[in-house]
């Protein structure tokens, strides 16, 4: 039987996880105890993934229409303080599996949105500690209101600008925190794509049961 491939065999993924960890260390919590505690949880879990020398299931990448905007998103992100993180993403770019997460994609989203997981129960870095991934939105996209049952979520804006629930504008380097069940709707500025990374923490069973398959209240679905 062949041995599984592990982080030590694929250093690009290890570096990416380390950079993720650093991201959650140097970003300000803005004085919020809840956000500070979330950032700490994310760091602890990433740390465990690295220490366990987790399995890496690298596959060939899958694109979606929105990935035509990825280069622009990365290029813009490289102008920011987190340029090293963008560089780490580029080293695994060919393995990113971009997907929708919906059985039936809400109208208008097929061309404007996709996400790719970096770590989680189904890989590429295999773990049930945490889910880490990227979301890419085309300019002008509206991502319908949704909430995550039992999962605390944070998005970090890597490039572009987004708003959540029409409350505030998040430029590159901003962190948005969504506690479990918090309903949120994302809008994206008109001229550039928005590239976000996210972290989900929750109980193992919650993490293994959800991807971007949302609890979406009927009344607010787009």
- Contact positions vs Fe ion (CB under 5 A): 153
Nearer to Fe ion, 86 or 196 (CB): 196
Residue nearer to Fe ion on the CB measure, 117 or 153: 153
Burial of 29 (0-12, 13-18, 19+ CB in 10 A): middle
Q: Which residue is nearest to Fe ion (CB)?
A: 153
Cα-to-chain-centroid distance, residue 78: 17
Q: Whose Cβ is closer to Fe ion: residue 129's or residue 153's? A: 153
The nearer residue to Fe ion, 13 or 113, going by C-beta atoms, is 113
Least Å distance, CB 68 to Fe ion, is 23
CB 132 to Fe ion: min, Å: 13
Q: How far is the CB of 154 from Fe ion (least distance, A)?
A: 9
Residue 8, CA distances (Å) to 43, 49, 52, 59, 119 in order: 19, 12, 10, 17, 15
d(C-alpha 34, C-alpha 182), whole Å: 14
Cα(38)–Cα(29) distance, integer angstroms: 9
Least distance CB 34 / Fe ion (angstroms): 16
Q: Which of 199, 185, 176 is nearest to 35 (CA)?
A: 176
């Amino acid at each position: 039987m062949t041995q599984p491939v592990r982080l030590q065999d694929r250093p690009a993924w290890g570096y990416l996880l380390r950079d993720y960890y650093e991201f959650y260390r140097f970003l300000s919590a803005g004085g919020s105890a809840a956000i500070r505690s979330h950032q700490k949880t994310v760091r602890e879990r990433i740390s465990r993934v690295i220490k366990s020398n987790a399995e890496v299931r690298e596959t060939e990448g899958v694109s979606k229409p929105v990935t035509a905007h990825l280069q622009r998103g990365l290029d813009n992100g490289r102008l920011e303080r987190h340029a090293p993180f963008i560089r780490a993403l580029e080293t695994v770019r060919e393995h990113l599996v971009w997907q929708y997460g919906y059985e039936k994609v809400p109208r208008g989203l097929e061309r404007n949105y996709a996400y790719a997981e970096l770590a989680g129960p189904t890989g590429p870095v295999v773990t049930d500690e945490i889910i880490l991934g990227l979301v890419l939105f085309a300019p002008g996209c509206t991502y319908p209101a949704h909430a995550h049952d039992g999962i605390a979520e944070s998005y970090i804006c890597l490039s572009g600008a987004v708003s959540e629930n029409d409350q505030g504008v998040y430029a590159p380097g901003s962190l948005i925190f969504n506690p479990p069940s918090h309903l949120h709707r994302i809008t994206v500025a008109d001229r550039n794509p928005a590239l976000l990374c996210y972290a989900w923490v929750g109980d193992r069973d919650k993490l293994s049961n959800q991807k971007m398959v949302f609890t979406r209240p009927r009344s607010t679905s787009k």
